[in-house]
Amino acid sequence: MTSLAGKTAVITGAGRGLGAALAISLAEAGCKVILCGRKLAQLADTASTIQSLGHEMPACVETDLADIHSVQATIDTLSKSHTHIDLLINNGTMWLEARDHAYTAAEVLGVINSAVTGTFLLTQGLLPLLRLSSGADILTIGSISGLPNARMQTVSVPFYAAKRAQAGLADGFRQMLAGTPIRSISLHPPYLDDVAPQQPEWHAVQDRQEGERATSKDVVDAVLFALTRPRHITLQVILDADEGGVFG
């Protein structure tokens, strides 16, 4: 198992939910984390939690993946402040639920641009820093909505399409970077119950039974497993659950 201690990790969507849980857990695993997200106040909350656990106060970078200028500003900031990046966790995507009335152009563009355009441009822009790592990983948090023939369930068509495209991005990077020290890993979670590392519910996840929903802790555990595999192994992970899963 490869250690994550001392690695520099960039996490998008790190202000709340799964992104915050990933950031906290990576810090606990010994990573130096950089928090990216749309709302600095939420990033600051995540950073404070990490510091309260005895870790270095993380850097917070305001990043709107739906705005190409914000994405470029993030690339510029990280390129000036860091000599390399070891882990890029592509977690940030705007959510858009199914509904009867029409979506606005801004909503559709927000979902597509954050999941696809912004994620691609950020990854592309950070590749020079990733190449300077002795062994870097790009890990993209997709969705079961991005799987072939997946049921839409409660997601909107734009979100469904965006996640399909995001899965293509992860696989495209995997093929493009084959033979290099950089891995492109993808992980597709089902619908989740949101639990945080500082909550009692986090530690109770191990007691869940068949038929219960997956949680953000299950995703974090899978991420840590994928990142710590020997370097000759690249994983594409589908997390499923009877409730909220591929067929749930």
Residue 18 tokens read as 């799964």
| Interatomic CA distance for residues 2 and 43, integer angstroms | 28
Rounded to 5°, angle at Cα 166 from 37 and 25: 45
List Cα–Cα distances, 46 to 14, 42, 58, 119, 236, in angstroms. 7, 6, 9, 21, 28
Kindly compute the dihedral angle of the four CA atoms of residues 217, 223, 229, 231, in this order, to the nearest 10 degrees.
-170
Domains of the chain: 8-238 (3.40.50.720)
Element (H, E) at 18: helix 17-28
The 10 Å Cβ neighbour count of residue 80 is: 7
Element (H, E) at 187: strand 183-188
Strand, helix or coil at 125?
Answer: helix
The one-character DSSP state at 61 is E
pLDDT in tens, the chain (248 residues): 689 999 999 999 999 999 999 999 999 999 999 999 999 999 999 999 999 999 999 999 999 999 999 999 999 999 999 999 999 999 988 888 778 899 899 999 999 999 999 999 999 999 999 999 999 999 999 998 888 877 878 889 989 999 999 999 999 999 999 999 999 999 999 888 888 888 888 887 888 888 888 899 999 999 999 999 999 999 999 988 877 666 66
| Interatomic CA distance for residues 148 and 142, integer angstroms | 13
Q: Identify the CA nearest to 104 among candidates 94, 91, 119.
A: 94
| Interatomic CA distance for residues 122 and 88, integer angstroms | 10
Extract the runs of DSSP E, i.e. beta strands, from 91-157: 137-141
| Interatomic CA distance for residues 144 and 26, integer angstroms | 23
